[in-house]
Amino acid sequence: MRRHVDYALARRAVLRDLRAGRRERTDVCDAHPELLRAGRHVGEVEDGDCPVCGNASLRIVSYVYGNALRQANGRCISTPQELTKLEATHEEFSRYIVEVCLDCRWNHLQRHELHGRRYAG
């Protein structure tokens, strides 16, 4: 069983604070240009509209990090096959799943998952 942390509650709190005026839109719509580029070119289309601007331009981007990944460290994962290959060849690494809006630059970490042979099964 894979181990993971889901950030849905944190996402709801940020959106609640934004709507209540306790956060500025510029504080939550600040996606890095590289994240936007990854979302545009390798991101998966997310069902539903952006929770900030309401446009249907949400994308999901996955990144992997791990000491043993070497060249793959920090790389975007664009297909399930890439993730499967890394899982088969590495003992442990992290995958971060981020949602990003290509229009308003909203971005939020959805999940952090632990992958690799150690967590297979």
Count Cβ atoms within 10 A of the Cβ of residue 77 and give its class: 0-12 exposed, 13-18 middle, 19 or more buried. buried
Residue 2 pLDDT class (50, 70, 90 cuts): low
Q: How many domains does the chain have?
A: 1
Residue 80 pLDDT class (50, 70, 90 cuts): very high
pLDDT the model gives residue 15 = 98
CB burial readout 104-115, b (16+ within 10 A) else e:
bbbbbebbebeb
Give me the chain's average pLDDT, please: 94
Residue 121 pLDDT class (50, 70, 90 cuts): low
Which of 32-36, 44-48, 68-72 has the least mean pLDDT?
A: 68-72
Count Cβ atoms within 10 A of the Cβ of residue 99 and give its class: 0-12 exposed, 13-18 middle, 19 or more buried. buried
pLDDT the model gives residue 46 = 94
pLDDT reading at 71 higher than 90 = no
Task: Give the percent of the chain with pLDDT over 90.
Answer: 89
SS3 70: helix
Q: Which of 62, 67, 44, 74 is nearest to 113 (CA)?
A: 62
Domain around 58: 3-119
Whole-prediction pTM: 0.92
Residue 36 pLDDT class (50, 70, 90 cuts): very high
